[in-house]
Amino acid sequence: MRPTKALPEPEADCPDTSGRIVISELDVWRAANLLIRQHGENAELEAARKADVMLDRGDRDGQLVWMRIRRAIVELQAAPSGPAH
Residues 61, 2: Cα–Cα separation, whole Å = 32
Give the start-to-end residue ranges of the domains of the chain.
Answer: 21-77
Q: pTM for the complete prediction?
A: 0.74
Question: What is d(CA 53, CA 60) in angstroms, rounded to the nearest whole number?
Answer: 10
Q: For residue 10, how many other CB atoms are within 10 A of its CB? A: 22
Is-contact 33 4, C-beta < 8 A? no
Low-confidence spans in the chain with pLDDT less than 50: 1-3, 10-12
Report the pLDDT value the prediction gives residue 29, as an integer from 0 to 100: 97
